[in-house]
Structure 1
Amino acid sequence: MIAAYVVLVRWTYAYATSPAWRSGWSTALWAGAVVVVVRALSDVNRTSLHHFYRERLATTFLVQRLRTGEAKAEPYDKPLRVSDQAGASAGRPELVMAAVANVADADYVPAGRGCVPFVISAARTGVVGDPSLPPGGTRATQEYEYSADFDRRDLTVPAAMAISGAAVSPLAGRASSRTRPVRVLLTVLNARLGVWLPNPYARPPALTTKALRERDRAGEPDATSRDRWRARGWVVAARATSLATKPGPYRLLREAFGRPSLYDRRLYVTDGGHYDNLGLLEALRRRPDRVVVIDASNDAENSFGALADAVATARMDLGIEVDVDTTRLRSSDTARAASAWSVGTATYPADDGPAHVADVVFLKALLTDDLTADVEHYTLDNPDFPRRSTGDQSYDEWDFEAYRQLGHSLADTW
């Protein structure tokens, strides 16, 4: 497609300067046709590793718990809409998936941060953060699903899972300083797990809104045959427009070279760990009385880097003081950690509600005494356990069981 653009630019220049070129319309028409067709059919979200990654996550972790206690795998092609995952309203925990939108606007983000929080939940989806951000950064999730794709395929539960864990990306929020030297290489090699989503600040497409309104009207009891045919026409037009406006090759150039902005029509959304690797900030933003934090990051032993970053960010962005004593979680050359968990506090300011103190239960994936024999044996064979990098995607059943059993054993000590 870029070559076709070059041909078009070359022809335009020659047309303006040389009469001989003014008869060469066929070249321009062919180049223009290539540009239009490729642009209409291309979708850089589809050609990235996102779909492969989300299928791997879905087939591994998405299961349905039956009343018998058994777990049944959910088919990957089952349309699990985020907006259908009722949480608090149904008496269940609310599912909130934390990601980031990569932006570099100096008015809204501190120097070097490169991102703002982006949350995906059943009720609302979009940009959240401190008061310096413009209001109206979130939209009703069902409406946003239609804006992302008229058939609601781009913001399913598996997609949101993959987006919230899209660590390998040319743009990576706070980690962008590390990826900057290889941004072009990551883009060319298609090492891209992030996704271009519509900017929630933008108004939903008028054609989509009209098509949904006509479809609802056609479903009413007094709808006529003409109403139904008209609704079909609007739906076809909205679906075609949705396909034609998918993020194209221009977005690849933005990934490789561009400076992302909150004013763009689309935002590049990646791993929430590019802002807070624990998800603690999004929990604290809701001001609960108790927060349970499970830290499975692979930061250096005894460093608790992910916790330290979250504590500092909570203070900077939310004005919340978090205090967690990690003394008993530290190991030495001669002894393992005495415990894998600690109970701390989070002190909320009175700005957005009554000032009060909440409990913060912090559980860290680490080695303690009294682990099962299979986990002890696995530890001998894998010295980096349990801080193995997620860059290794070749986990087998032994790896999976070791991490599962470690988590089970540590949780039992709480």
Structure 2
Amino acid sequence: MTVFNVRLGAWLGNPGPAGASVYRDSGPRFSAIPLIQEALGLATESRQYVYLSDGGHFENLGLYEMVHRRCRFIVLSDAGFDPNMTFEDLGNAVRKISIDLNVRIDFDALNIPPRKTPPLAGSYVAVAKIFYPEQGAPVGHLLYIKPSYRATEPASVRSYAEANPKFPHEPTTDQMFGESQFEAYRALGEYIMETIDGDANWEYLDIASFMQAVSGYQTRVK
């Protein structure tokens, strides 16, 4: 993949001291140099250019790096293709975090059902506790949001869903959303957030109080 440069990413100037003279450039002036460095295992954070990737080849949700940074409150939206709710991306992230970082993530439940006919009841979210290994480290909290369909959503969402049985798990290879398709996903996301956060008129002072309200929703739908 390195030799043929067939990855989803870009070579950009290092935002650290090593790239002070090039970070404003759109890319390397001579791209063969960083390409050869990577092929030989010499591409590090001390080089002028770094390769910025979406990380999908390693961990598709970005959870690994948030845990690596010891974040206490994490809100994670998983829009990956998962029609059978196997939670492959989530399982991959939790497993790598446990092995590499010695951090345990425990979910209360994963009661997010796949789309069926008729639709199944269940939650849009799951909540977990993050146990960091350092002595005295506070317990972290993870809110995991997963799109699903209940037939209780707004009319615009239900109309699109009835015409498209795979919604909201249409393949991610579809990169050209039409207007109706885009609006259905946007409206579903809005509905999910309005449903899980308690009182629609309440303004949360911080993410901790928001996640506490979501935990209350999760308890009601178990």
The change in CA–CA distance for 1:332 and 1:364 in structure 2 (over 3 A counts) is closer
Secondary structure at the counterpart of residue 152 of structure 2: coil
Q: State the one-letter code of the partner of 2:128.
A: G
Structure 1: gaps spanning 5 or more residues: 1-169, 172-182, 210-238
1:341 to 103, 117, 125: 125
**1:389 alignment partner in structure 2:** 171
- In structure 1, the partner of 2:91 is 308
What residue identity is the alignment partner of 1:338? G
Please report how far the alpha carbon of residue 293 of structure 1 lies from its aligned counterpart in structure 2 after TM superposition.
Answer: 1.3
Task: Give the counterpart letter for 1:347 in structure 2.
Answer: F
Aligned pair count? 191
Question: Quick check: which has more Rg, 1 or 2?
Answer: 1
Match for residue 204 of structure 2? none
Equivalent pair of 2:113/2:148 in contact (CA under 8 Å)? no
Please tell me the residue identity of whatever aligns with 1:312. R
Q: CA deviation at 1:300?
A: 3.9
- Matched residue, 2:207: none
Shift of 1:243: 9.2
- Seen in structure 2, the aligned counterparts of structure 1 residues 326 and 295 have a Cα distance that, compared at 3 Å, is farther
Partner of 2:155: 373
TM-score w.r.t. the length of structure 2 is: 0.70
Q: Distance in 1 between matches of 2:195 and 2:16?
A: 45
Alignment of 1:204-353 (within 5 A): 204=19, 208=21, 246-248=29-31, 259=39, 261-263=41-43, 265=47, 266-331=49-114, 333=116, 335-350=119-134
- Which structure is higher in helix share? 1
Decide whether the 8 Å contact of 1:260 with 1:267 is kept in 2: no
Instruction: Tell me how far 1:249 sits from its aligned partner.
Output: 5.1
* Structure 2: gaps of 5 or more residues: 197-222
The letter of the residue matching 2:41 is: S
The 3 A distance-change label for structure 1 pair 285 and 243 is closer
Q: Deviations over 1:218-265 (max 9, x none)?
A: xxxxxxxxxxxxxxxxxxxxx9xx79961335667x59xx73524465
2:200: which partner in 1?
none
Q: Distance in 2 between matches of 1:381 and 1:295?
A: 23
SS in structure 2 at match of 1:344:
strand
Q: 1:323 to 1:391 in 2, by over 3 A?
A: same
- SS class of match (2:183): helix
> Could you give the per-residue CA deviations for residues 309-365 of structure 1, whole angstroms, max 9, x where no partner exists?
111121122211111244421247554241111222111111xx6233222111111
1:329–1:339 CA contact under 8 A, matched in 2: yes
